[in-house]
Amino acid sequence: MDFDFSYSSVASIVRAAEKNNTPISAMILAQQAQQMEQSEEALFAHMRENFQVMSQCIEPGSSKDLKSTSGLTGGSAYKMRQAAESGKSLTGSLMAGALYRALAVSELNASMGRIVAAPTAGSCGILPAALLTMEAERGCSEHDCVMAMFTASAIGMVIANNASLAGAQGGCQAECGSAAAMAAGAIVELAGGTPRQVSHAVAIALKNILGLVCDPVAGLVEIPCIKRNASGVAGAFVAAELALAGIESAIPADEVIWAMKKVGDAMSSSLKETAEGGLAATPTGRKLHEQVFGTSAAGSSAGDSCASDSTGCASCGACR
């Protein structure tokens, strides 16, 4: 197999996959196995373990009585699952299923039950929800879902190399946006789409979240992060659906990633995980901060009580 590509551009990965006449995932697995001096079987087995961790989050994350350590969130996945399984959801079982799975992983993360960084803890529910919903609703095999994770990881590496995955550096567009792009690419491959369609799905998903700020209420990865995971997986399915229909992004994926970097650089620091702006600065946001940390913290910004750094995703430091 010809590995004439780099993780500096989506375009080079697509060209190489087309040249090799293979799905992106198969090429990435083979290249990574060679680079890491492991067998493809061993590398696949390791990725399969990651997929199983994702899967194991759904049941406990959907518990009716689940509460985060702050007490601010919990129980939304249960409500959404009830609606999904009642057969009365507005969007049908696929979308409703994706929504409750995204909430389940995110809420379990907030309760410190299980941390899944995909690619960050702040966006942890999007890729798992996409994969597990394709498995449950479209009959995709575990093997194919695991393989799709290699496609998603390649997309994530390109974004990390050219922009950022951290809310502290690029806002929530860098977290939920990147996760949605990774999930969209994985969905397209699972649905039998071409490498070029994967690229268009990545571009569409990411540009639809361009400019999204990171404004965690009380400095915790709960409000609005958890619901943004549900929105992110919905966006991933929208992008995949459009790409699979043959709809192309006018702006190529690599240029969208470049734009995300520029937007993140221009974004105020108050909107990049510091909890000093956006929803965190609203009257209700400040009251919730006082509810968690006490009135003595009212005179300082929520970000002052966080253990965040620019390499991570959770202002509470949960992902490190």
- 294 lies in some domain: no
Our separate counts of H helices and E strands in the chain read 15, 0
Residue 114: its pLDDT value, please? Answer: 80
- 283 lies in some domain: no
Residue 296: its pLDDT value, please? Answer: 62
Residue 64: its pLDDT value, please? Answer: 97
- 19 lies in some domain: yes
- 126 lies in some domain: yes
- 276 lies in some domain: no
- 208 lies in some domain: yes
Q: What are the backbone dihedrals phi and psi of residue 284, each rounded to the nearest 5 degrees, phi first?
A: -70, -40
Model confidence pLDDT, tens digit, residues 169-201: 999 999 999 999 999 999 999 999 999 999 999
Nearest to 121, CA basis, from 132, 135, 134, 107 = 107
Residue 74 φ/ψ region, left for φ over 0, alpha for ψ in the -120 to 50 degree band, beta for the rest = left
Using CA atoms, how far residue 118 sits from 27, 179, 277, in Å, is: 21, 7, 25
Residues of the chain with pLDDT under 70: 296-320
Using CA atoms, how far residue 274 sits from 67, 216, 290, 295, in Å, is: 24, 8, 16, 19
Residue 92: its pLDDT value, please? Answer: 95
Nearest to 318, CA basis, from 61, 123, 163, 66 = 123
Residue 298: its pLDDT value, please? Answer: 47
Q: In total, how many domains does the chain have? A: 1
Residue type, 235: G
Residues across the chain: 320
List the structure tokens of 229: 């995971």
Residue 304: its pLDDT value, please? Answer: 40
Domain around 100:
10-271
Q: What is the DSSP letter of 273?
A: T
- 301 lies in some domain: no
- 229 lies in some domain: yes
Residue 193 belongs to a domain with what CATH number? Answer: 1.10.4100
Q: How buried is 192 (Cβ within 10 angstroms: 0-12 exposed, 13-18 middle, 19+ buried)?
A: exposed
| Residues in Cβ contact with 229 at an 8 Å cutoff, skipping those fewer than 6 apart | 102, 103, 105, 106, 123, 124, 125, 126, 129, 176, 179
